[in-house]
Structure 1
């Protein structure tokens, strides 16, 4: 072991010396060429000085050379001549007054007197700016007499930044070499070691770093620590009203969604009736539809010129915009989240407890109230918190339907895009993170542990129906009404494709389809291309991370798991704003490119894929992998030939989920799109904002068709296992 450490130490030491020499040479060459260029610019400026109209000439220099500041000294005061000073602006005069007191000033003037351009070697810091200074002689064309000196302040920020990049790259190379040496010499499975390091780098670069940069922007002002932004945010009534508006909306939506989700979940898992597959489909359809779909339907049906409010009922004072409309839309959009959570919980409850209670003459209502409902409480709380965090973070629905009702996600968007106050937008997005992160932590680390064990031996293969016939009819009627309402909403979108001008002219037309598809062609191609690129990367990465978390032990495992799951709790607006802040400068200049959109897709949907992979891997006996490893297979071979085929359902589900969510993304994407890379959902929003509901309906319908096709293909590839399914029996 000591010999290995000595070998690594000597190797990294020699390589560090070599790298230092190489990069020192690169830096010296760069500085030499830069300083030569600076002298040439200074000479060019000094030869252009006119005899008269100096102020106009200074203005022209400011336009031609925006990265320099010029001061012209006419005459040589130190040699008995009357000197006259000309400045570009007051800041330039302030800078000059400071350098005039420095030791090198007289030496620079002396060089100019002897017709030599002097470049001061060191970078000078003046206030918050850094400069390289040159003193260039001004020679009269007619007689060749030196009339004065031009002092040129050259902005040195690019030089400093480049030097930092050079040495940052050098340190990165040393770190990579050191990592390779340590992993290859001290780990039994180098492939696993490299994989863990790469995952940590991805998580650190694209999750932790942007969030840190966003928070840093809110506490650093003019290079100094300041809490002025937070003081302003936390004392401004409009911002606090928006925060309460988001929380209030979240509470109402979470309560109504959980109630409807429980209604569907209980009816489908604990009752026996026909049409369960249909109701199950209706209970999951909104979760995979485009974000503006149901909002658009509500506006078309119940808006100012809505088909029901204006055409059928003749109402003029009904306003769907605001809290009421948002609660309706979010409830219809998010109750599937509660349904999916509660279905698993209700299906897992051992029915023998209910059956035993009924055998002891307990009424059906008392069995439900004292057995079924208490056992469902962890699932109900988890579903409520999950919907709450999604509601608070929701951006798409409030963007179209909030009206005068203020929510924090939209306020953050308007601060960045409308008012160009990036600091305020970052602070608001962090403020929005607080309730969503709190709900996520409670749901993840407290509620999930508050479970009631009801299976102590072989689980019951049947579920006893505890509802009476009248209650059964009532429950089926309720889920039928809600399903019919959903069908009506989706039918409205389709109908909107064929209406000339919704709310005014309901005549049939096909023009919307041709116009929408022609105008959206590039956006649809961009969206599909970027989603197709992100999907396989996200799917494979999620399965690799799940494998590492479940099967491997290493330092920092819990930190990695928490970091990977973090994007699920982060509102999309915060992700978009933090990416703008973090990736708009070298060395990671990604803003405006397709790469930043792909990375956003991958990082945003990674938690779902990882959780799916973790849940599946926990059901697979690790002895299978251990047997392969005992036969000499390395981690890469085990993962590709054994693990990946066994977790195929989770892998395909992750692929389809990532693709669909990428196609229907809004909140983060609206900050990251550019003229070159556009997104179909943003085009739907723009059409809706401009009251082109027919075009918006066509694009929303197109997205729904794409999404349903992908999920239909997924269901063909991955069929639900019938093993351990429970049959509902009547009593």
Structure 2
């Protein structure tokens, strides 16, 4: 495809377009600067005409600051004409202007400006001046701001002489912002044009090329760019490059918080993996009868708000908890490492359970039968066969829980007490001190172990998948546990599930209590107040999640099809970038989005769009993985036949791929909806007065000890999520396409 003729045509078209693009940019920016200067001249001339008739110092002190109402950001200083000296002498006004005047009053240009106003002619100085606007009390910036300087005379009533002169500084921010916006738009136009020309000129399948370019654009703008902005800010201090932020981040103070996060992660991952394996083994490898019910109850914590269990623990075992204080009269506190570990284990063991279940389900029982036929005991078979074959799932489960624990944000905020973890430290720096740079650095520090765990997991899954299926797998399951062992596992599992159910019932009970811990009288007032104060948040949350759900589902399936079925340059890079949000703590994503999208051309902060984009990008990796798994089980000959009959890529995707991967598609959508409804860590940075989120409102009520209102909204949220989750499960009637079979290698 790269013929000499095509290359020449591409270069000619690119050169022509870039020339036109540059000419248009220069013309528009120059015209705007001219218009801006003319407008400022007119505004300043009008301002000079509003000088007070009473020529007193007090009158001019009140008049000079009003220049800001005429030209945004402008600063003025008034000079009185001293007839005895024949000079203009400083009188009153902005300290910024006075400092600049003192620094440059002997320069030829400033002298010429004063001479000009003496002859009643206004003058604009050429070039820009760096003005220290921090001298003014209403400016909170230590950076010098490039400004244009204007000198205009204040003419007496007769119109024959100047009573004084005004020096006005106008920041270049408006013109600079417009020019920067133009530059960004014209660069974007050039990139888009060159991308289209590349696809048209050098690919056999332009439609696939356009889709790949679109995906690259999405991941570069909404994944790579925000992270680069966060990295850049962490190396900036007071507007200049500095390592000070990282020196503070690596100080003992924050290393203690990092160690706290690691301890919590290791404890949570280890205990959750043990509990998850117990549930998975009971359901997948024994003759336990109530598997369906147990599976549903065991996955409940995944599809509920992440801190709802923390709320229950506080209601039961907090300082005024029903059990700890009212029933047992204990003075012990649930706050700290122990309480955090308990809540995170309950909330995250389903991740380990679902991961290990898939591996245990795939183990061919004929291998265990062979071991038993060779006179090995059940315990020996389990230890030598079942456990080693499930090792990939166990390690993956441990690393997944470890990663989620490090990134957990809401539970530590409610239950950490004096125990310090890095995610909450980053949140406090951003919200409490408005220090986005330090928050970014701490989040990147947290990313290091998270990314390491993620990469280890990916390598383990790729290299350590133990194979047992060499032909048609056996449909018979060999019982590896004796009756006493199985009953013990059942008892422990039901007790654990019973505790979880009790926690959820506690949330429901909290809806009908006047003031938990003080007054347990029955009331319905919580419902009225919670619905009146939370209705807008409920509506916003459901609306945004409903928009993000099909968007994420379709984008995930389209991406999976391109990765599995198409060959194109940069496929590995694209896949890596798409999977990156899975390993990034939500705190870092939230901070990155604030930094990247709080300025033109993508000014999204404060809008609902940035929340939807966050939902889609955050949950895209899981949907892509589901789609890739489903497509690997479908013979590509079906799609090739459709293509041979003249169907283009969108038609193949719509009529062939999407119906075949329907279970994975619906699962991806349901997962996105659940996670969107229960998100906290990134969303708490992105909400605004216009768009709020239900989980953030619940969290605020919990922090303010309004447990009744928090319980009502948590209950409503849980029921909404459960309803949608159940609906999605009904729609996925046949999941045969998502069943994986291990092949021999």
Give the drift of 1:329.
0.8
Give the corresponding residue for 2:288: 273
The CA deviation at 1:126 is 5.3
Alpha-carbon distance in 2 for matches of 1:299, 1:528: 27
Trace 1:60-139 onto structure 2 (pairs within 5 A).
Answer: 60-61=65-66, 64=69, 67-75=73-81, 81-86=86-91, 88-100=93-105, 102-125=107-130, 128-139=144-155
Q: Does 1:695 align with 2:722?
A: no
> 1:432 Cα deviation (Å)?
1.6
Task: Give the match for residue 324 of structure 2.
Answer: 309
Change (3 A) 1:93 1:574: same
2:467 is the alignment partner of 1:453? yes
Alpha-carbon distance in 2 for matches of 1:176, 1:724: 37
Matches within 5 A, 1:247-326: 247-313=262-328, 315-326=329-340
Aligned 8 A contact 2:97 2:168 in 1: no
SS state at 2:151 partner: strand
Q: Identify which range, 701-710 or 261-270, moves more after superposition.
A: 701-710
CA distance in 2, matches of 1:178, 1:723: 40
2:33 is aligned, of 7, 31, 34, to: 31
* Matches of 1:49 and 1:517, distance apart in 2: 56
Residue 536 of structure 2 corresponds to residue 532 of structure 1: no
Q: Who is 1:729 aligned against?
A: none
CA distance in 1, matches of 2:49, 2:442: 52
Q: What's the secondary structure of 1:415's corresponding residue?
A: helix
1:53 has 2:68 as partner = no
Partner of 1:43: 45
* Farther-moved stretch of structure 1 (544-553 vs 99-108): 99-108
The answer as to 2:195 corresponding to 1:191 is no
Alignment of 1:92-491 (within 5 A): 92-100=97-105, 102-125=107-130, 128-142=144-158, 144-237=160-253, 239-313=254-328, 315-491=329-505
Q: What SS class does the counterpart of residue 319 from structure 1 fall into?
A: coil
Q: CA deviation at 1:75?
A: 4.3
Residue 470 (structure 1) shift: 1.6
Bigger mean CA offset, 501-510 vs 270-279: 501-510
Contact 1:71 1:96 (C-alpha < 8 Å) held by counterparts: no
- Aligned equivalents of 2:219, 2:256: Cα separation in 1: 34
Tell me, what secondary structure is at the counterpart of 2:418?
coil
Q: Please report how far the alpha carbon of residue 258 of structure 1 lies from its aligned counterpart in structure 2 after TM superposition.
A: 0.3
- Is it true that 1:493 corresponds to 2:507 in the alignment? yes
Summarize deviations over 1:253-289 as a string: whole Å, max 9, x none.
Answer: 1011000000000111110121111111122111111
TM-fit CA distance, 1:298: 1.1
Q: Give the Cα separation in 2 of the matches to 1:83 and 1:695.
A: 67
**1:539-578 matches, cutoff 5 A:** 539-578=553-592
Any unmatched runs of 5+ in structure 1?
A: 727-731
- TM-superposed CA distance for 1:435, in Å, is 1.6
**Distance in 2 (alpha carbons) for counterparts of 1:154 and 1:340:** 62
Which piece of structure 1 moves more, 514-523 or 621-630? 514-523
Report how far residue 89 of structure 1 moved: 4.8
Distance 1:646 1:723, change over 3 A: closer
1:281 & 1:93 partners in 2: Cα distance? 72
More displaced 10-residue stretch of structure 1: 694-703 or 529-538: 694-703
Q: Which runs of 5+ in 2 are unaligned?
A: 133-143, 741-745
**CA positional deviation for 1:228:** 0.4
Moved more, 582-591 or 146-155: 146-155
For the residue of structure 2 that corresponds to 1:251, the secondary structure is helix
Conserved 8 A contact 1:461-1:725: no
CA distance in 2, matches of 1:418, 1:21: 47
Q: CA offsets per residue over residues 209-266 of structure 1, 9 Å max, x none?
A: 11111111110123321000111121152x2222111111111110110000000001
Alignment of 1:500-515 (within 5 A): 500-515=514-529
- Whether the aligned pair in 2 keeps the contact of 1:338 and 1:383 (CA below 8 Å) is yes
| Offset, 1:553 | 1.2
Structure-1 separation of matches of 2:49 and 2:402: 69
Please state how far the C-alpha of 1:723 moved relative to its aligned partner: 8.9
Aligned in 2, Cα 1:387/1:448: closer, same or farther, shift over 3 Å?
farther
Q: Is the 8 A contact 2:324 2:331 kept in 1?
A: no
Residue 136 of structure 2 corresponds to: none
Of residues 622, 630, 634, the one that matches 2:644 is 630
Report the alpha carbon displacement of residue 473 of structure 1 after superposing the two structures with TM: 1.4
The answer to whether the Cα contact below 8 Å between 1:353 and 1:371 also exists between their aligned partners in 2 is yes
Query: Cα distance 1:183–1:195, how it changes in 2: closer, same or farther (>3 A)?
Result: same
CA deviations over 1:538-580 (Å, ceiling 9, x no partner)? 1111111111111111111111111111111111111111111
Q: CA deviation at 1:139?
A: 2.1
How far does residue 433 in structure 1 lie from its aligned partner after superposition?
A: 1.4
CA offsets, 1:167-204, max 9 Å, x none?
32223223222222222222211111111111111111
Shift in Å, 1:32: 1.8
Task: Say what the alpha-carbon RMSD is for the aligned residues.
Answer: 2.3
Cα drift, residue 148 of structure 1: 4.4
CA distance in 1, matches of 2:82, 2:562: 73
Deviations 1:669-712 (A, max 9, x none): 11111111111111211222222222211211111111111111
**Distance (whole Å) between structure 2 residues aligned to residue 492 and residue 543 of structure 1:** 39
Give the stretch that moved more between structures: 634-643 or 157-166.
157-166
**What TM-score do you get using the length of structure 2 for normalisation?**
0.92
1:582 aligns with 2:596: yes
Q: Secondary structure at the match of 1:446?
A: helix
* Aligned residue among 660, 671, 677 for 1:663: 677
Residue 485 of structure 1, CA deviation: 1.0
Q: Is the 8 A contact 1:292 1:684 kept in 2?
A: no
Contact 1:292 1:700 in 2 (8 A): no
Offset of residue 515 of structure 1: 2.5
Q: Please, which moves more after superposition, 156-165 or 65-74? A: 65-74
Residue 384 (structure 1) shift: 0.5
Secondary structure of 1:418's aligned partner: helix
> Greater shift after overlay, 683-692 or 573-582?
683-692
* Counterpart for residue 715 of structure 1: 729
Query: What SS does the corresponding residue of 1:4 show, helix, strand or coil?
Result: helix
**Contact (CA 8 Å) 2:698, 2:714: kept in 1 or not?**
yes
Please say which of residues 333-342 and 274-283 is displaced more in the overlay. 274-283
CA displacement at 1:90 relative to structure 2: 4.6
What is the deviation of 1:401?
A: 1.5
**Structure 1: how far apart are the matches of 2:89 and 2:335?**
67
The one-character-per-residue Cα deviations of 1:462-503 (angstroms, maximum 9, x if unpaired) are 232222222111111111111111111111112222223322
Cα deviation for residue 68 of structure 1 reads 2.2
Determine if contact 1:46/1:137 at 8 Å carries over to the other structure.
yes
> Mean Cα displacement is larger for which, 435-444 or 19-28?
19-28
Distance across 2 between alignment mates of 1:662 and 1:338: 21
Distance 1:325 1:720 in 2: 40
- Aligned residue pairs total 723
